[in-house]
Amino acid sequence: MTFGKLIERIIQLIPVLLGVSLIVFIMTLLTPGDPVQIMLGDQLVTDDLERSLRRDMGLDLPPHERFFTFLANAAQGDFGTSFYHRQPVWDVIASRLPATIELSLMALLVALVTSIPLGVLAAVKKDSIYDRLATVGSLFGVSMPGFWFGILLLLLFSVHLRWLPVSGNASFASQVDPITHLLLVDALLRGRFDAFWDALKHIILPAITLGLPMTAILMRVTRASMLDVLNRDYITFAEAKGLGKFQILAKHALKNALIPTVTVAAIETGSLLGGNMVVETVFGWPGLGRLVVESIFTRNFPLIQAAVLLYAVTYVLLNFIADIIYTILNPRVKL
């Protein structure tokens, strides 16, 4: 892919991002009640003070000007103040973001390392009992309600077997001075293997729960694309060349078969973002998803808006990255 094409693609993102922002902005207009009243709660203030507050918040402007103000502020990371936390919204979000990023990456990792070998095996042993089990398993995977699956895992591994902790992302004893704010990475950087092990024990169940639907989907995709690839002429030709069975599978088949898998994985990473709220609630994970859920009950609308915008922008960028990955992996596709 040429640099020019890349720029072209990036420019194509702009209308989508603008549209996404517009919809988030329209959501703010739907908010019931008067923002100033909500902010003030039961406090009695003079009309003058209320008017000046209204002016400060830009509420006296016509909607289109308010949209531009909203955009300009959002671009600077200014989403207003979270009165509940008595902090700027962005600071609250930023403090919760690393935990969510770490969990999402771990879920992606779990999904990739389980789905690809399982999918390849199902394709290679097509119609065997193993293949059937894999198909049934993936059906269960996409049909499983995440919150219930998480609870079952907790019940088994944390409550009954007592192997794993019930909630949170780290024990108090194994705190590490932050560098990246990703606990697993920080623990390794600081050489604290006890903390690493502790963080791993905390993250594994939420990561499996979050990654389950993705695992199921990726397994199906890998199986299907592997079956397709194994029927291609270049596999027969590789056999005719007298290459070994493993070399044919691992080199000739897998590289082609993984193109759809990786593309779908990149797209589905966005859907991990959606699953965050449920999984973080079940496992008491101190991330952005749980913050959003809490904010609904505290009617913390500025925070919800900022989070929705952040999720949406991330989602759009992930899809963009999926596109780029697809082009890089597949030398035949020209943008």
Partner 1 sequence: MRDEILQIDELKTCFDTRDGLVTAVDGVTLAVERGTTLGVVGESGSGKSVTFSSVMGLVKKPGFIAEGSIRFNGRELVGLDRKDLQRLRGKDIAMTMQDALTALNPAYTVSEQIVEVLLAHDDSLTGSRRAKRKQALDQALDMMRLVGIPSAETRLHDYPHQFSGGMRQRIMIAIALACRPKLLIADEPTTALDVTIQAQVLELIADIQRKLQMSVVLITHDLGVVAEYCDNVVVMYAGQVIEQGPTRDVINRPQHPYTQGLLGSIPRLSDLSRKIDPIRGTVPELKNLPTICRFMERCKRAHSSCRSRIAMQSVEADWLVRCISPGEEGKA
Partner 2 sequence: MTAVDSMETAAMARSETLFGRNLRNFASNKVSVLFLFITFGFVLTAIAAPLIAPHDPNEADLFRRLLPPAWMSGGSWEFPLGCDALGRDILSRIIYGSRVSIFIGLAVILVATTIGVLAGLAAGYLKGWVDVVISRLVDILLGFPYLIFAIALIAMTGPGLQNIILALAYKEWVIPCRVVRGETLATAGAEYVEAAHALGASKSNIMLREILPNIMSPVLVVSTVRMAHVIILEASLSFLGIGVQPPTASWGSMVADGRSFMLNEWWLATFPGLAILLLVLSINVVSQGLRDAFDPKFHD
In terms of Cβ atoms closer than 10 Å to its own Cβ (0-12, 13-18, 19+), residue 241 is: exposed
Q: Within 13 A of 295's CA, how many CA atoms are on the CB side?
A: 24
Under rule CB under 8 A, residue 84 binds partner 2: no
Interface positions, 271-310, toward partner 2 (CB under 8 A): 271, 273-275, 277-278, 281-282, 292-293, 295-297, 301, 304-305, 307-308
Give which of partner 1, partner 2, none residue 262 binds (C-beta under 5 to 8 Å, depending on kind).
Answer: none
Structure-block tokens of residue 236: 């027969």
Unique residue bearing structure tokens 């991990």: 272
Under rule CB under 8 A, residue 164 binds partner 2: no
Under rule CB under 8 A, residue 129 binds partner 1: no
What is the smallest separation between the CB atom of 103 and partner 2, expressed in angstroms?
15
- Interface map 233-272 toward partner 2 (x if CB under 8 A): -------------------------------------xx-
- Interface map 296-335 toward partner 1 (x if CB under 8 A): ----------------------------------xxx---
Of positions 88, 232, 293, 320, contacts partner 1 by CB under 8 A: 232
CB nearer to partner 1: give 244 or 274.
Answer: 244
Under rule CB under 8 A, residue 111 binds partner 2: no
CB nearer to partner 2: give 117 or 274.
Answer: 274
Count the site residues for partner 2 by CB under 8 A: 51
Please state, in angstroms and rounded to a whole number, the distance separating the CA atoms of residues 115 and 98: 25
Under rule CB under 8 A, residue 15 binds partner 1: no
What is the smallest separation between the CB atom of 331 and partner 2, expressed in angstroms?
25
Under rule CB under 8 A, residue 30 binds partner 2: yes
In terms of Cβ atoms closer than 10 Å to its own Cβ (0-12, 13-18, 19+), residue 164 is: middle
Of positions 133, 239, 298, 328, contacts partner 1 by CB under 8 A: 239
Under rule CB under 8 A, residue 91 binds partner 1: no
Largest pairwise CA distance in the chain? 88
Please state, in angstroms and rounded to a whole number, the distance separating the CA atoms of residues 2 and 76: 31
Under rule CB under 8 A, residue 41 binds partner 1: no
Compute, in degrees rounded to 10, the torsion defined by CA atoms 207, 210, 216, 221: -90
Under rule CB under 8 A, residue 241 binds partner 1: yes
Kind plus residue range of the DSSP H or E element containing 289: helix 288-297
Please state, in angstroms and rounded to a whole number, the distance separating the CA atoms of residues 152 and 158: 10
Kind plus residue range of the DSSP H or E element containing 133: helix 129-143
Unique residue bearing structure tokens 């609250």: 92
Per-residue b or e along 313-326, where b marks 16 or more CB atoms closer than 10 Å to that residue's CB: bebbebebebbebb
Interface residue list for partner 1 (CB under 8 A): 232-234, 236-244, 247, 251-252, 255-256, 330-332
